[in-house]
Amino acid sequence: MTDSTLVTAYRWIMTAPERPLEQTEFDLEDPGPSEVLIRVAGCGVCHTDLGFLYGGVRTRHALPLALGHEISGVVVKAGSASECTCGQAVVVPAVMPCGHCDACNSGYGTVCKAQIMPGNDCHGGFASHVVVPSKGLCPVPGFDPAQPDALLGESDVDLAALSVVADAVTTPYQALERARVSAGDLVCVVGLGGVGGFAAQIAAARGARVIGFDPNTERLEQMKDFGVANGFDPSKQVPRKLRSEVRSIASEHGHRAFGWKIFECSGTRAGQELAYGLLGPAAYLSVVGYTLDKIELRLSNLMAFDAKAAGNWGCLPEFYPAALDTVLSGAVKVEPFIERHPLAEVQQVLERLQAHELSKRAVLIPESHCG
């Protein structure tokens, strides 16, 4: 089959760790009965992609493989058992549980052994087209195929920019949902780049008071306009002093001295040490960021404070529509935190991200959508 909007399908593949990605063409094939073929509108670049290319993390699918798991696009062909229709705009969940195993049926779809992660279990979104399971795809309401670059809903983004919803927005959304963040809560977000920045916005949209921690002072200043009521550079003070600062803010603004909700989004040793150091009575600590570094902590603090600590892996597809609505309604802003690049620049983008030269989340646009 051929796609009427793009004659040649192509992807940028990883052939080996630490080697530049290579562009390769491929033939478009019909999706399986429970799959869809999607024309990629945009694909976000995540630190997980760096982990595969430079960090020694192995993909579950054998190489060569196209990376990229933050995907938005348009269905151009649907399998016979798919509920999707051609022309439908969708956000592809970064983690797609099978939906029928014991883990899924027990409410633990995030640990489904048969889950599919594009760019890990199958070819991902560093491509013009991608084939993915149809189950769990998140429809994008209001999309007009005749105006593919139009802004959607009350938001500041088009379909391509919605690619970051697939991880950078939905991952913290699930973490905050699990923590039951609501109006009146005091929320601490450690690390305000990418996932952490969206965590702060979502928490603020729910009516929580957000205290942010990030060594990037420009980022701290920017986030004052996007939900962070109080910001601190953690490199300037020890965790104990920062905890006292939070306690003073809570007292000053009528928040409780217990029940704080803490989200570690930096994925660094220092961030994890700080997040654990903020633990107090009845606190809830959510570990959202990832690092291979180890830290030393006193686990008994959880017992002494009657506190809870939880991990968060991705986001269940059932949370996607509500997370997407926070963006489409304008409650959570995306455009100020992303920068667009042609897909042809994927290698340069990854190298710049590895060198810490990007201050915003990169979104790769296939050339057919550029201009």
The CATH number that applies at residue 133 is: 3.90.180.10
Exposure of 148 by Cβ count < 10 A (0-12 exposed, 13-18 middle, 19+ buried)?
middle
- Round to whole Å and give the CA distance between 311 and 291: 13
* Whether residues 129 and 228 fall in one domain: no
Q: How far apart are CA 145 and CA 46, in angstroms?
A: 27
The residue among 261, 284, 311 that closes a domain is: 311
Query: In which order are the strands placed within the sheet that holds 186-190?
Result: 228-232, 209-213, 186-190, 261-264, 284-287, 308-311
**Token code pair at residue 302:** 């959880």
| 336 vs 42: CA distance, rounded Å | 16
- What is the rounded distance in angstroms from the CA atom of residue 226 to the CA atom of residue 281? 28
Q: What is the pLDDT of residue 347?
A: 98
On whether the CB atoms of residues 115 and 60 are closer than 8 A, the answer is: no
- Digitized pLDDT (tens) for each residue of the chain, 371 residues in all: 344 444 589 999 999 999 999 999 999 989 999 999 999 999 999 999 999 999 999 999 999 999 999 999 999 999 999 989 999 999 999 999 999 999 999 999 999 999 999 999 999 999 999 999 999 999 999 999 999 999 999 999 999 999 999 999 999 999 999 999 999 999 999 999 999 999 999 999 999 999 999 999 999 999 999 999 999 999 998 888 999 999 999 999 999 999 999 999 999 999 999 999 999 999 999 999 998 899 999 999 999 999 999 999 999 999 999 999 999 999 999 999 999 999 999 999 999 999 999 989 999 999 864 43
What pLDDT shows up at residue 239?
87
Give the pLDDT of residue 1: 39
Query: What is the per-residue pLDDT for 7?
Result: 54
Evaluate the omega torsion of the peptide bond into residue 64 and state whether it is cis, within 30 degrees of 0: yes
Q: Is the dihedral of CA 195, 197, 198, 203 positive or negative?
A: positive
| pLDDT at site 5 | 45
Q: Is residue 247 part of a domain?
A: yes
The CATH number for 261's domain is 3.40.50.720
Would you say 159 and 140 are in contact if contact means Cβ atoms under 8 Å apart?
yes
Residue type, 101: C
d(CA 92, CA 268): 27
β-strand 70-78 against 129-133: which pairing, if any?
unpaired
Q: Which of 296, 311, 326 is the last residue of a domain?
A: 311
Whether 163 and 62 share a structural domain: yes
User: Domain span at residue 25?
Assistant: 9-167+315-369
Residues 19, 78: one domain? Answer: yes
Q: Evaluate whether residue 1 is within a structural domain.
A: no
